Amino acid sequence: EAGVAQSPRYKIIEKRQSVAFWCNPISGHATLYWYQQILGQGPKLLIQFQNNGVVDDSQLPKDRFSAERLKGVDSTLKIQPAKLEDSAVYLCASSLEFEYEQYFGPGTRLTVT
Amino acid sequence: RKEVEQDPGPFNVPEGATVAFNCTYSNSASQSFFWYRQDCRKEPKLLMSVYSSGNEDGRFTAQLNRASQYISLLIRDSKLSDSATYLCVVRGYSTLTFGKGTMLLVSP
């Protein structure tokens, strides 16, 4: 079974630029999550989708971050404009339903200079 | 008080040692609990769920005390391959909160 796919794996941008990350969850998984993990910290949930609807985006900085999950499958997370403090690993995870085990993708390591 | 708090690390132990990690959570309505393992520069992976009666998986034992809002993970007979960061995870009605993690370094 293929795992959660993410791209790109690495990205370096300058502050005030825009960036987008892509996630393809495990086939059939209804729930998709985006996390931000800053070095030395645990993952912080940014947004959670159930199919193509948003369940929780309370910790998403909506002035600069946006996410969508069209057709309830793939998802993109965008940052516009980026700040230095956005440097982190962005992890995508999926689960069959909310109460089931989450499977994480390899993450996208973002460096903002 | 932070939602999920873990022992600050790192823990440095020799091979064969027994090590225990502690975790406390603030929301008494939390529903389920997990330990995840994260290797350096890798994604987190589920190690084990934590059940009220306590549960064991080989060398790993997890305990939950709902009254004290406390979770623990015990690793017996540590192996070099156990070196990783251990994340305590708490699930509420619709949210999942990760602790900061505790790093374990097992040396020969």
Mean pLDDT for the stretch of residues A43-64: 94
> Within an 8 Å CB–CB cutoff, is residue B97 touching chain A?
yes
Average pLDDT, integer, range B46-60: 93
Q: Is B36 helix (H, G, I), strand (E, B) or coil?
A: strand
For A83-96, the pLDDT digits (tens) are: 999 999 999 999 99
Q: What is the pLDDT of residues B62-90, one digit of tens each?
A: 999 999 999 999 999 999 999 999 999 99
pLDDT over 80 (residue B1):
no
Q: What is the pLDDT of residues B8-23, one digit of tens each?
A: 889 999 999 999 999 9
Of A42, A45, A91, the CB nearest to B99: A42
Task: Yes or no: say if B35 and B73 are a contact pair by the CB < 8 Å rule.
Answer: yes
- Select from A41, A48, A105 the Cβ nearest to the Cβ of B100: A41
Contacts of A62 (CB under 8 A, 6+ apart): none
CB within 8 A of A12, min separation 6: which ones? A110, A111, A113
Contact flag A91-B43 (C-beta cutoff 8 Å):
yes
Residues 6+ away with beta carbon under 8 Å from A26: A1, A2, A3, A4, A94, A103
Q: Is A42 on the interface with B (CB under 8 A)?
A: yes
Mark B24-55 as b/e (b = at least 16 C-beta within 10 Å). Answer: bbeeeebeebbbbbbeeeebbeebbbbeeeee
Helices (H) and strands (E) in chain A, counts: 0, 11
